[in-house]
Amino acid sequence: MDHEKLVAVMRAAALEAGDAIMEVYGAEDFDVKVKSDDSPVTEADEAADAIISRHLRAAFPEVTLVTEEQADSHGLSADQFLIVDPLDGTKEFIKRRGDFTVNIALVEGGVPVRGIVYAPAKGRLFYTTADGVSVEEAGPFDPDAPGRLDQIGVSKPDNAALRVVASKSHRDQATDDYINKYAHTDMKSAGSSLKFCLVATGEADIYPRLGRTMEWDTAAGDAVLRGAGGKMVRFEDHAAFDYGKDGFANGFFIAYAPGVELKQP
């Protein structure tokens, strides 16, 4: 895999998809459908998926592509694959809260090695460079050339005063009970894979997720987190979190800055 080419293609695809999403977001009204798993989907999801798939298939026709909006890709299996959530945080999008992202990642050997997370409504763009270092690009974003790139890195956490980020739409009592095992002084709520990025930039120290997610929800944010020096582990035993699982379904997990003293479930 040519990582220089990959980063350029992912960036171009994410920005074009973001434009399509924002066009729908700015409309007075848009249709919302319900998929077989009871999750919502909009024309923005479908438009973004078509754009990203076109970019990736043209550039990397030999690489397996898994995307949330194409059910026939959910039965695929490969050691190396691209995985896409064209609009992560559809519920935030529908509620016009802005916490939604475009997620694209490359997984190799069960590890997300490159990824991009674009939050078009917030004007924030995070990705791994060709050498695997995570950056945030300063806007406005020129589709033809990157702007200023600022390397990002996780915090040095204070275990007596941790900063926690948790899901905005999927918070529950079990999550709160686990968070309360820690001495924390700040609690943020955020939607989509932005939670990974807040840990990656040092704006938060830990993100526990005790709820259903799929690999396309997490791979890009996980790649950005890893490239910023962070970690993601399974919730139940703190073992390494891997990708390419059957059906691409995730278990519970914890994303965090090294130095956080993880608590047992």
Q: Is residue 238 a part of any domain in this protein?
A: yes
Q: Which domain holds residue 238?
A: 162-256
Report how far residue 97's alpha carbon sits from residue 6's, in angstroms, rounded to the nearest whole number. 30
Instruction: Say what the pLDDT of residue 114 is.
Output: 98
133, 208: one domain = no
234, 141: one domain = no
227, 246: one domain = yes
User: For 180-215, what is each residue's pLDDT tens digit?
Assistant: 999 999 888 888 899 999 999 999 999 999 999 999
Are 158 and 186 spatial neighbours (Cβ–Cβ below 8 Å)?
no
Residue ranges of the binding site for Mg(2+): 68, 85, 87-88, 217
Q: Which token pair is 79?
A: 């050691």
Instruction: Say what the pLDDT of residue 36 is.
Output: 66
First to last CA, the chain: 38
Region label for 202, one of left (φ > 0), alpha (ψ between -120 and 50) or beta (otherwise): left
pTM value is 0.95
**Among candidate residues 111, 118, 147, 146, the one with its CA nearest the CA of residue 132:** 111
201, 170: one domain = yes
User: For 111-126, what is each residue's pLDDT tens digit?
Assistant: 999 999 999 999 999 9
Residues of the chain with pLDDT under 70: 36, 38, 169
Residue ranges of the binding site for substrate: 68, 87-90, 217
Q: Is residue 8 a part of any domain in this protein?
A: yes
Residue ranges of the binding site: 68, 85, 87-90, 217
59, 143: one domain = yes
140, 174: one domain = no
175, 111: one domain = no
Into how many domains does the chain fold? 2
Q: Report DSSP letters for the chain, one per residue.
A: --HHHHHHHHHHHHHHHHHHHHHHHTSS---EEE-TTS-EEEHHHHHHHHHHHHHHHHH-TTSEEEETT-GGGTT---SEEEEEEEEE-HHHHHTT-S--EEEEEEEETTEEEEEEEEETTTTEEEEE-TTS-EEEE-SSPBTTB---EEE-------TTSEEEEEESSS--HHHHHHHTTS-EEEEEEE-TTHHHHHHHTTS-SEEEE-S-EEHHHHHHHHHHHHHTT-EEEETTT-PBP-S--GGGEE--EEEE-BTB-PPP-
140, 166: one domain = no
183, 139: one domain = no
23, 145: one domain = yes
